[in-house]
Amino acid sequence: MSTPSLRIRGLRKAFPRVLAVDGVDLEVARGEVFGLLGPNGAGKTTTLEIIEGLTAADSGTIEILGLTWEIHGQEIRSRIGVQLQSTSLFNKITPREALDLYGSYYPKRRSTAELLALVQLEEKADAYHITLSGGQQQRLALALALVNDPELVFLDEPTTGLDPQARRSLWDVVRRMKGEGRTVVLTTHYMDEAEALCDRLAIMDRGQVIATGTPASLISDLAMPSVVELTFEGMAPDSSAFAARLGQAVEPRADLWEIRTPDPKALLPRLLEAAEVGDVPFQQVHIRRATLEDVFLQRTGRSLRE
C-alpha cells in the first residue's frame, strides 16, 4: 500500500509553561520500526499522545493509516495498539482478565493465551496486577497493545526501568512485530535501543525534530563520524594545552578525552606525537565510530543524558 502508516505535518502543542511540541513533521512507512529518540522533556511523549488521540494539538495535521481523528476516531482506535509510558490498571485485575476485557472492546482480537505466551506471562496469568514486578507489568502493557492485532503499534519508553535481560526479550517482541508486518513507532532515550531496533529515527530536542534518517545514515552524515578516545587512569587532566598543540578540539569526559575527526588515520600520528611532546599520561587509545549519542551531541552541543 502506498499511504504511509503515519503522516504528521506542523504539529504544535504549548502547555502553560512550555512549548512541548514545536512544529513536528513525521512520516512513517508501513512495516517500519520508527523511533523518536531524545532526552527527557524533548516532547516525545507529548507527540505520541497527540498521535494516539489522548492530547489535543494546538495545530497541525495527523493522518493515521490514511484516517484522521476528526472523522474516523473509532476506526483509528480499533486499528492501533498503544503502550502508554505507564499503564495503570486496576490493582486486582489479573493479566488474563485484563487481556480478555480489553480484547472485548475490539472487533478483531488475538487470543489471550497467545498473547500471554508472546510476553511470557503464562505463569503470572492469574496473579493480581499489583503483585507483578515492574518488568511483568511492562510486558502485560505490551500484550495489551497487541490485543487487537493492530496494524500500527505505539510504544512509549517500552524498556525504561527494565533490567538488561528484560530489555533484550522486549526487543525480541518488537522484532517479531516487525516480522508480522506491523508498523511500530516507539520513543526511547536509549541510543543503543534506537540503534538496535529502529529502521529509521527522528531525533527530537526541545519540541523539534533535529534530524531524521536511518541510524547508519545519521551517523555517517556527521561531519566527523569517527571519535578517538584517550583514556586515563583516574580523572582526565586538563586538555587545553594538548588541544592547542594538536590544533583541534578536545572534549574532556570524566576519565577520557574525545577528539572527533573525519579521518582517524591522518589524525593518529599527529595525536601520538602531541601526546609524546606534552608527556600526556594516557593509558589507551580507542578509535570508534560515532554513535547516535554523538549525533545528538554534535547537533545540540549537549549530551543525551543531561
Partner 1 sequence: MMLWRQFVMEWRLYSRDRVAMFWTMAFPVLLLLGFGTMFRDGGGPRLSLVRVLPQSPSPSDAALGKALVDLQLNVQTLSKAEAESRWSRGETAAQLEPAGAGYRLRLNSYLMAQAGATAGLVNQAYLMAQARLSGAPEPQRIPIQMESPGHKRSASYVTFLLPGLLGLNLVSMGLFSVGMVNVSYREKGKFRRLAVTPLPKWIFLLGQVLHRLTVTVVQAGILLLVGRLAFGIQNQGSFLDLLLIMTLGTGCFMAFGFALSGFAETSEGYAALSNLVFFPLMMLSGVYFTLDAAPAWLQHTVALLPLAPFIRALRAVFNDGASLAGHGLGLAIVGAWALAAFLLAVRRFRWA
Residues forming the site for partner 1 (CB under 8 A): 52-54, 74, 77-78, 80, 82, 84, 86-90, 92-93, 97, 101-102, 104-106, 128, 141, 144
Q: Which is nearer to partner 1, 82 or 218 (CB)?
A: 82
Shortest spacing between CB 80 and partner 1, in angstroms? 7
Q: Which is nearer to partner 1, 21 or 191 (CB)?
A: 21
Q: Which is nearer to partner 1, 137 or 291 (CB)?
A: 137
- Going by their DSSP bridges, the two strands 33-37 and 183-188 should be labelled as parallel
Q: Which is nearer to partner 1, 101 or 118 (CB)?
A: 101
Shortest spacing between CB 183 and partner 1, in angstroms? 16
Shortest spacing between CB 252 and partner 1, in angstroms? 43
Shortest spacing between CB 73 and partner 1, in angstroms? 8
Shortest spacing between CB 287 and partner 1, in angstroms? 46
Q: Which is nearer to partner 1, 89 or 116 (CB)?
A: 89
Shortest spacing between CB 78 and partner 1, in angstroms? 5
Q: Which is nearer to partner 1, 80 or 297 (CB)?
A: 80
Q: State the first-to-last Cα distance of the chain, in angstroms, to the nearest integer.
A: 41
